[in-house]
């Protein structure tokens, strides 16, 4: 396993162009991306509350699942003999 360390600038759209060494051209590779900001801290992308939930998460999500359809009646169950 080899590693490649580069320093690059993230575009305003959040994109990074990653160019691999030419000797890897036309080869299948497993790629693992681990990143760290230059100052060593990764800031939260979405502001969160004290418990770690994004702000207004529950107010935006509540009621977003549609009502479940009515289930048809399955009828009466058969009567069975008891074990006793």
- pLDDT per residue as tens digits for the range 10-42: 888 888 888 888 898 999 988 888 877 777 555
Please name the residue that has the structure tokens 């100052």: 39
- pLDDT per residue as tens digits for the range 67-81: 778 888 888 888 888
Contacts of 8 (CB under 8 A, 6+ apart): 16, 17, 18
Please name the residue that has the structure tokens 């790629």: 31
- Give the bridge partners for 48, in sequence order: 54
Comparing CA positions, the residue from 65, 12, 9, 1 lying closest to residue 38 is 9
Residue spans of the domains in the chain: they are 25-65
Contact by Cβ (8 Å): 55, 47:
yes
Q: Is the pTM of this model over 0.85?
A: no
């Amino acid at each position: 396993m080899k590693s490649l360390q580069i320093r690059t600038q993230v575009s305003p759209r959040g994109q990074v162009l990653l160019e691999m060494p030419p000797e890897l051209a036309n080869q299948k590779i497993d790629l693992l991306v681990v990143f760290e900001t230059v100052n060593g801290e990764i800031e939260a992308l979405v502001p969160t509350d004290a418990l770690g939930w994004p702000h207004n998460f529950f107010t935006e999500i509540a009621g977003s699942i549609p009502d479940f359809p009515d289930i048809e009646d399955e009828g009466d169950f058969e009567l069975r003999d008891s074990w006793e």
